[in-house]
Amino acid sequence: MAEWSGEAFRAQAAAWIDDALASVRPSVRRTGPLSPHKVRFWAAVFGVPTSGGRLWFKVANPGQAFEGALLAALAELASGSVIAPIAVDVTSDWWLLPDGGPTLADRGVADPWPALVAQAADLQRTTATHRDRFPMLPRLGTSDATAWARATLADLAALPASDPQHVPPAQADRLAAHLPELEADLALLDDLGLPETVQLNDTNPRNACWSGDPGDRLRYFDVGDAFWSHPFGVLHLPVRLAVGVGLSAPRPTGPAADAVVEAYLSRWPEVPRERWSDVLRAADRLGAVHRAASWLRLLAPVDPERLGVPTPRIVDWIAGALVPEPPA
């Protein structure tokens, strides 16, 4: 974060932006310095004033360095569903985006969740048969999520006790006893016969722009938490935030959560309604694994004493996958 906030970095980024614009949009030029919008340990975003309006420059933590390339691939395959980058530098983990307008959160849309998950499902169905177009996207599917959780628990237990991610061996053993339950639920998802696809993993109103026209689609622009996996893990976040509970809370029920589930699963008519309850439980476990894996890949290259935010505990997400509490 200190590097990204420094003058030297912004000068280097500005020079790259100038070269990119000269190459792909020669009629547009930068008219001022980059202005910080958000600087976090997982990414930094800067506004870029130009003669053609504001653009956005983003640089990523190595754990989600694939994001710019993923956006570009999604823009080619599912045009209009994402903000298409103007330029991407996969070596430096930089990309340049046009301004997509207000997000759903900025617009204050009263209930954005059904539209968000419905369009996420449409995007997933479009990308499902195109794994070859997404070589940059890490895979964590139903067939290897249990092994990932087992290995990660062992790694966390082996850390020094002073490490903020250390898990006491006794706690790791208690959690590991539930691995067969996770494996059984992931097998249930596998048995549905649906293809793996892009699991966006952070579908929320802050990550999608909308013109305000009811006939227009949403456009996603923040996809750095994504995996190639079973699609239904995408529900883990929306069903909670739609109800107003935290991501580590038990999966809620009730009208708001049911509306999200209905909007999403109705896009998957291959899944009989009578199976929805079991499918949701299994999908929620997978979503918790993806949340753990996303944080782990972001935390791996950084100093835990210099995050600028409380250190997320990987074991808490793994516990959510292994011993989920009954829905409230």
User: Domain residue spans in the chain?
Assistant: 7-98, 104-322
Going by their DSSP bridges, the two strands 43-48 and 55-60 should be labelled as: antiparallel
Residue 304 to residue 4: CA distance in whole angstroms:
17
**Tell me: the pLDDT tens digits for 24-66?**
999 999 999 999 999 999 999 999 999 999 999 999 999 999 9
Q: Which helix (H) or strand (E) holds 2?
A: none
Fold of domain 104-322: Aminoglycoside 3'-phosphotransferase; Chain: A, domain 2 (3.90.1200)
Listed residue (296, 265, 266, 267) closest to 283, CA to CA: 265
Q: Which residues in the chain show pLDDT less than 70?
A: 325-328
Give the pLDDT of residue 327: 44
Q: What is the reported pLDDT for 325?
A: 63
Query: Are 83 and 72 contacting, i.e. CB atoms less than 8 angstroms apart?
Result: no
- Cα(266)–Cα(280) distance, rounded to whole angstroms? 13
Q: Which one-letter amino acid corresponds to residue 160?
A: P
pLDDT of 239 = 97
Entry pTM: 0.95
Cα→Cα distances 138→70, 197, 302, Å: 11, 11, 19
Residue 168: its pLDDT value, please?
Answer: 96
Contact 70, 93 (CB under 8 A): no
Looking at residue 148, its amino acid is: W
CATH 3.60.15.10 fits 7-98, yes or no: no
E-strand ranges in 108-261 read 197-199, 208-209, 219-220, 227-229
